[in-house]
């Protein structure tokens, strides 16, 4: 689990929107699911097990998941992580710099980035009933070479 801000996701000047080019250093050529979360976020308790399953199912096909924690104090975040034990990268953004760049307005918010580094989908919130839609978007981007 990585902990340095920016180890996998870099910043850019503007806000995030579909079609925007994201700058990814270590993850070029991969589909990246960036998830902004906090330990107090109730839907995050549902999204983490789903993201773990997604990583297991599609990681070897080119999917990388990066969870960006926004807790000001990492103690509660680390407790959350001990419970949910993610199999994907977690970075900490206690100052909210990445969240500001992405214009995060709700928890969790996920940003799905294609292999060329272009933001293709943004989801505000996590809804169990929409898991199939989210996964279909991942499969669509993985199919693009």
pLDDT tens digit string along 77-92?
999 999 999 999 999 9
Query: What's the pLDDT score for residue 24?
Result: 60
Q: Alpha carbon 24 to chain centroid distance?
A: 13
The model's pLDDT over 35-48, given as tens digits with 9 standing for 90+, comes to 999 999 999 999 99
In sequence order, the 6+-apart residues with CB closer than 8 A to the CB of 133 are none
How many Cβ atoms from other residues are within 10 Å of residue 129's Cβ? 6
Cα dihedral 19, 17, 95, 35 sign: negative
What average pLDDT does the structure give for the chain?
85
Q: What is the pLDDT of residue 121?
A: 95
Domain assignments of the chain as residue spans, ordered by start? 31-143
pTM of the model: 0.84
> What was the pLDDT predicted at 16?
52
Token pair 């297991």 in the structure block, residue: 56
Per-residue model confidence (pLDDT) at position 12: 34
pLDDT over 50 (residue 9): no
Please state, as a whole number, how many other Cβ atoms lie within 10 Å of the Cβ of residue 57.
Answer: 13
4 or 65: whose pLDDT is higher? 65
Q: Residue 20: pLDDT above 60? A: no
Q: How many CA atoms lie within 13 A of 40 on its CB side?
A: 6
Average of per-residue pLDDT across 15-44: 78
Beta bridge partners of 119: 113
pLDDT beyond 50 at 4: no
pLDDT tier at 117, thresholds 50, 70, 90: confident
Is 31-143 in CATH node 3.40.30.10?
Answer: yes
| Whether the Cβ atoms of residue 140 and residue 113 lie closer than 8 Å to each other | no
């Amino acid at each position: 689990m990585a902990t340095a801000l920016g180890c996998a996701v870099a910043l850019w000047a503007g806000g995030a929107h579909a079609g925007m080019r994201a700058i990814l250093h270590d993850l070029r050529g991969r589909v990246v699911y960036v998830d902004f979360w906090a330990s107090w976020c109730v839907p995050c308790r549902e999204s983490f097990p789903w993201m773990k399953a997604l990583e297991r199912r599609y990681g070897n096909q080119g999917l990388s998941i990066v969870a960006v924690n926004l807790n000001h104090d990492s103690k509660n975040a680390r407790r959350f992580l001990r419970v949910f034990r993610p199999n994907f990268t977690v970075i900490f953004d206690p100052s909210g710099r990445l969240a500001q760049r992405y214009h995060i307005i709700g928890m969790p918010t996920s940003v799905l980035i294609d292999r060329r580094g272009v933001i293709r989908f943004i989801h505000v919130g996590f809804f169990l009933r929409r898991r199939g839609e989210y996964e279909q978007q991942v499969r669509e981007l993985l199919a693009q070479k």
